[in-house]
Structure 1
Amino acid sequence: MPRQFETPMFWSEEERKYLAGTDIQDRIGREDAEQEYTNVLLPVISAHPELFPVGSPHTSIDAFHLQGSRILSRSFTVPLSRFDNTPKAAEQPEDSDDEEEEDQGVVVMMPFADMLNAAYEKDNAHLFVDEEASEEFKSGVMMRSTKKITKSQQIFNTYDAPPNSELLRKYGHVDVLPLLKDITKLLKSSKVGAEWPFGNAGDEVLLSGEAIVESVAETLGEKADDKWRDDIKTRIDWWLEEGQEDAFPLGYDEEIDDGLISFARLLSNDEDWEKAQKKSKPPKPTVDGDVAAIIIKAIEQRESTYEGAIEDDIATLKASTQWSAINSPDALKSDETPVSQQRKEMAAVVKLGERRILKIASHVIKKAVKTEAAASKKRKAGSVMVGKGKKLS
């Protein structure tokens, strides 16, 4: 097991400022972990010196952080029912009403399952569970190749292509690979960061529902009073009861998440809200000028929370020796970069990926408005009546 981590949990307060604005910022959990240690574990440790020697490094706050990081980076969550092999469990009908128990999961650590590295779209093996693992035994787990693997070729597991924000938070590293042609094309059309065409194709940004609410409020100005807030809360409650999400993923894509568009319409358009209640379904994800303005305003607000400018991140990464083979094929990789500088550079990778995606999303939404406006104009022109019962073609 690792004895040290490069995850933000172990960064200094000054180093964690590099991550301002990113999806990691509020998910590091150091303060919550220390509060749990102080309020829950420390009283038990202090009360039993015969079990926990005073001053032992094995019961310190640093040891607690280390063990928590080991579990976070090397554990799996499996259904609770997976461990219940009693006859009673076997006889229980599949359509049991006990949905709460069915949804419960257990965090487990599995020897050898985490031996393999992972990289975006390089996976050639997968951990199969239960009946997928073995037709003979019908239970257990099995690591199997999913592609032909040649001699001396590295075996990569798949972890659903996590974004760099998640890789850094859980494992303390980021993926820096040549981006796909479709992505570099998007970067060029959006005029953002194409001069350093590297990163993680699986990157994403979560735009919170709260950001959309505040964007609508800012658009309304003084009309966004307490009465309006109460009405919006009712709409949000309805949205969540319908099983919709309260955060919306943006990625390297030429399409905007349908849920984001529907949510913006629900909050900003009274007619859409009334229809949604009657039909028990979210508004259609149609982009118009008002919806686009709301989403773009939310994106711009998110962009303002990052430290420095995109140009600063690109300059940092171009000068980096961590990825010297990328920046200059003739350069040798240097291991002498100070740890703090390495962390700053990894934060720059995460920030650049997220900022690129936000710029692309803004570009795509503006393009969608123009497309919709042109289509609407064409429809209106096509419906102009010429003479009796005739349309202009």
Structure 2
Amino acid sequence: MDSFNEASQAFLAWLRGTGAEVSDKIELKDLRNLQAGRGVVATQDIQEDELLFRVPRSALLTVDNSILASEIPKATFDHLGPWLSLILVMLYEHINGATSNWAPYFNILPSEFNTLMFWEDDELAELQGSLVLQKIGRASADENFKKELVPVIKEFAGVFFSGDERAKERAEEMASPQNLMLMHKMASLIMAYAFDVEPANSSKVADEEGYVSEDEDEALPKGMVPMADMLNADADRNNALLFYEEEFLSMKATVPIKAGDEIFNDYGPLPRSDLLRRYGYVTDNYAQYDVVEIPFDLLTHLATEQKIFAQDRLEYLDEQGVIDSGYDICASDPYTIQESVSPELIVLIETLLVPADEFERLKRKEKLPKPEKMTTKAAELLLQLVQARTSQYATTLEEDTRTDADVNMEGNDTLKERRFAMAKAVRIGEKVLLRKAEHALRQFIQDKSMESGANKRQAFEEEARPGKKQRS
């Protein structure tokens, strides 16, 4: 048995030792030939609702379960918030190495990452035009680590590096590029693997499938759930779901699973750009969730050029909750403007275009234009906006699709070649959405023009009808 599988077996033995239950019908399998690391595969047929594994809450890697929680004041963790607090705890457990309660778990977690945080400049350049580049935030994360985490580690150096004579010196070294990279790796593990953990005594109500609403979900503490994070994800083939119970977190089959089939979780409706940013890969199964963002700054720039920029109108829209940093154009089937274009974007454009007296009337009644009643002028401005957004990419859709855009995860392509291919897949997805929006808007404008022409003809014919008094 090689070291990779030995680590898997040691992890499973440790997991069972925590009181976890793992079905004999599943196994942790080496899927590196598919660029998928480890995965969970059925060894026997599994029925719907059958338990796959059950992990006690005490085995979860959370702030509360770490020894560090009893050594550092709660106020410190409260100040850091759930994200930085878990990074701090994972740093502590990682530095403790073999003495950590989660050492066998850390041994199966990846040490190398394919997420955008770790791409080279020439690789990131392949994503030019995609606003996912603005979400990486490596420089701001470095500053945040230095400002928030390093001072805590320095203050509690004796705890963090317990028994080490160089504790203070090691704490000072945590601001080095090497240790900042370690913090990024812990953050990447959390981004890729952590779950929002519903407390056992929570008063929040989950639905019949075990989900809590999105606004409630944001307030939940984060935690690493051993074994649950070994499941790969698939938007179409997801066949398992994690359920929160009083003492355990249980993964159950949501459909019958045949022997030999991989068991998949689901990340939810993530566009491929975010799939790449958070998890380091893309798959066509998530193309249905692709999104291209129209930045607010691009709209204000175009509005200024068109001489329709009005600060008072933007302030009113801000009061009404319409102003955002960007607006989505997403997929729909069949593709329609109303289903695919953010209604807030249409409202914003219409508000900038309405005559002054109409705007004053809307403002007086605290109302907004109705996005489903988009005017021709708004469609024309939106079309210009889509065209301006398209021009921000370094290549055209035709240039990108001239060659094969498939991401080969099983071949002999180098890491750089796969990254280039994944970047191309992301930008193609975004350009396809822009192209569809452009075609739909052109059709909308054409239909409105024909409708207007028909109305004018009808009015003319009625005016010229025999026996009707003519205008002087």
Q: Structure 1 length as normaliser, TM-score?
A: 0.72
**Cα shift at 1:274:** 3.2
Give the Cα–Cα distance (whole angstroms) in 2 for the partners of residues 40 and 61 of structure 1. Answer: 12
Q: Which moved more, 1:344-353 or 1:253-262?
A: 253-262
2:422 — aligned with what? Answer: 346
* Residue-by-residue CA offset, 1:51-98 (whole Å, 9 max, x unaligned): 66376899712211110100111123357xx4655xxx79xxxxxxxx
Aligned to 1:234: 315
Q: Which residue in 1 is equivalent to 2:192?
A: 73
- Could you list the runs of 5+ residues in structure 1 that have no partner in the other structure? 91-99, 131-136, 178-198, 324-332
| Alignment match of 2:183 (pick from 64, 72, 77) | 64
Change (3 A) 1:78 1:302: farther
* Alpha-carbon separation, structure 2, partners of 1:292 and 1:68: 42
Q: Deviations over 1:91-143 (max 9, x none)?
A: xxxxxxxxx9997342232223322222232222223446xxxxxx6x86433
How do 1:179-258 and structure 2 match up within 5 A?
Answer: 200-220=287-307, 224=309, 228=310, 230-240=311-321, 247-253=326-332, 254-256=335-337, 257=341, 258=343
Which SS does the other structure have where 2:288 is aligned? coil
CA-to-aligned-CA distance 1:192-212 (integer Å, 9 cap, x gap): xxxxxxx82221112233332
Shift of 1:244: 7.0
Instruction: Tell me if 1:375 matches 2:454.
Output: no
Deviates more, 1:101-110 or 1:113-122: 101-110
The counterpart of 2:368, out of the listed 271, 282, 288, is 282
Q: Residue 334 in 1 paired to residue 391 in 2?
A: no
State how far apart, in whole Å, the 2-side matches of 1:273 and 1:105 are: 41
CA displacement at 1:168 relative to structure 2: 0.3
User: 2:344 maps to what in 1?
Assistant: 259
Summarize the Cα distance change of 1:272–1:12 in structure 2 as closer, same or farther, 3 Å threshold: farther
The one-letter code matched in structure 2 to 1:106 is P
SS in 2 for 1:156: strand
Identify which of 32, 39, 43 aligns with 2:140: 32
Q: 1:304 pairs with 383, 391, 396, which one?
A: 391
Alpha-carbon spacing, 1:46–1:238, altered in 2? closer, same or farther (3 Å):
closer
Amino acid across the alignment from 2:391: S
Answer whether contact 1:235 1:273 (CA < 8 A) is retained: no
Q: Displacement, 1:23?
A: 2.6
How far apart in 2 are the matches of 1:101 and 1:314? 42
Matched, 1:50 2:167: yes
> Equivalent of 1:160, from 249, 268, 272?
268
Matches of 1:105 and 1:118, distance apart in 2: 22
1 CA distance for matches of 2:402 and 2:408? Answer: 14
Whether the aligned pair in 2 keeps the contact of 1:34 and 1:61 (CA below 8 Å) is yes
Residue 6 of structure 1 deviates from its aligned partner by 0.4
Would the aligned equivalents of 2:116 and 2:276 in 1 still touch at CA under 8 Å? Answer: yes
Contact 1:125 1:144 in 2 (8 A): yes
Is 1:107 equivalent to 2:234 in the alignment?
no
Q: Deviations over 1:172-207 (max 9, x none)?
A: 000135xxxxxxxxxxxxxxxxxxxxx822211122
How many equivalent residue pairs?
Answer: 329
| Candidates 238, 258, 262, aligned match of 1:123 | 238
Is 1:149 the counterpart of 2:271 in the alignment? Answer: no
Cα distance 1:128–1:83, how it changes in 2: closer, same or farther (>3 A)?
Answer: closer
Q: Distance in 2 between matches of 1:110 and 1:290?
A: 52
The aligned amino acid for 1:282 is L
Q: Which amino acid aligns with 1:216?
A: A
Please, what is the CA RMSD of the aligned residues? 3.4
Q: CA deviation at 1:24?
A: 0.9
Q: Is the 8 A contact 2:317 2:323 kept in 1?
A: no
Based on CA coordinates, which of the two structures has the bigger radius of gyration? 2
- Name the CA shift for 1:161/1:44 in 2 (closer, same or farther; >3 Å): closer
* Distance across 1 between alignment mates of 2:298 and 2:363: 23
Cα drift, residue 378 of structure 1: 3.9
Distance 1:20 1:273 in 2: 38
Cα distance change, pair 317–30 in 1 and its aligned pair in 2 (3 A)? farther
Q: 1:65 to 1:75 in 2, by over 3 A?
A: same
Letter of the structure 2 residue corresponding to residue 292 of structure 1: A
Counterpart of 1:363 in structure 2 is 439
- Give CA-to-partner distance per residue, 1:329-365, whole Å, 9 cap, x none: xxxx422x22222211111111111011111111111
In structure 2, give the amino acid aligned to 1:368.
F
Q: Give the gaps of 5 or more residues in structure 2.
A: 1-108, 158-165, 205-214
1:6 counterpart SS class: coil
TM-score, normalised to structure 2, is 0.61
